[in-house]
């Protein structure tokens, strides 16, 4: 029998959530979800380990311990995605990580493509649980103002 490939859907509007086959993804560590959120927010750009540690643990100095926690979160993320056959969503290189933006559905990316459904779904909230997401929120607000009533 042919088995359907599991799909990943990322929701950035409101709270950040990850769905695998329409079920909420379960990560072992809370920072794993935030790690993925940050990579999604960076739209496929490669992010170095130091920057990831600084963002995820903004109140702690960079250390071997933080790098170890980051490695654990990366392993957790890849494990969770590989269970869904979606591990190719993460592009891992020495000292950096990125997401393959074409490997999953994302309301934020659809909004950037000015897809009417995503533009209409945006209600002024973006990854509300993460303070670092406020800069992107400002950009989305400006974009929405420019779009006006064009959808």
- Span 91-123, pLDDT tens digits: 999 999 999 999 999 999 999 999 999 999 999
Any residues with CB less than 8 A from the CB of 34 and at least 6 apart, and which?
Answer: 16, 56, 130
Surface-to-core class of residue 13, CB atoms within 10 Å of its CB (0-12 exposed, 13-18 middle, 19+ buried): buried
| pTM for this predicted structure | 0.92
Q: Is the pLDDT of residue 151 over 80?
A: no
pLDDT at 6: 56
Cα 54 → chain centroid: 17
The model's pLDDT over 132-143, given as tens digits with 9 standing for 90+, comes to 999 999 999 999
pLDDT at 5: 55
| Percent with pLDDT over 70 in the chain | 94
């Amino acid at each position: 029998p042919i088995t359907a490939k599991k799909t990943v859907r990322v929701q950035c509007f409101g709270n950040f959530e990850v769905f695998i086959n329409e079920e909420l993804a379960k990560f072992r560590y809370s920072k794993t979800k935030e790690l993925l959120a940050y990579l999604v927010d960076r739209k496929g750009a490669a992010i170095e380990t130091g920057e990831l540690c600084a963002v995820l643990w903004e109140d702690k100095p960079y250390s071997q311990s933080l790098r170890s926690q980051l490695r654990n979160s990366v392993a957790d993320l890849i494990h969770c995605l590989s269970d869904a056959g979606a591990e190719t969503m993460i592009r891992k290189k020495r000292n950096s990580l990125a997401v393959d933006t074409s490997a999953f559905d994302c309301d934020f990316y659809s909004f950037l493509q000015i897809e009417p459904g995503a533009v209409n779904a945006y209600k002024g909230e973006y990854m509300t649980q993460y303070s670092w997401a406020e800069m992107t929120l400002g950009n989305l607000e400006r974009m929405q103002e420019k779009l006006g009533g064009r959808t």
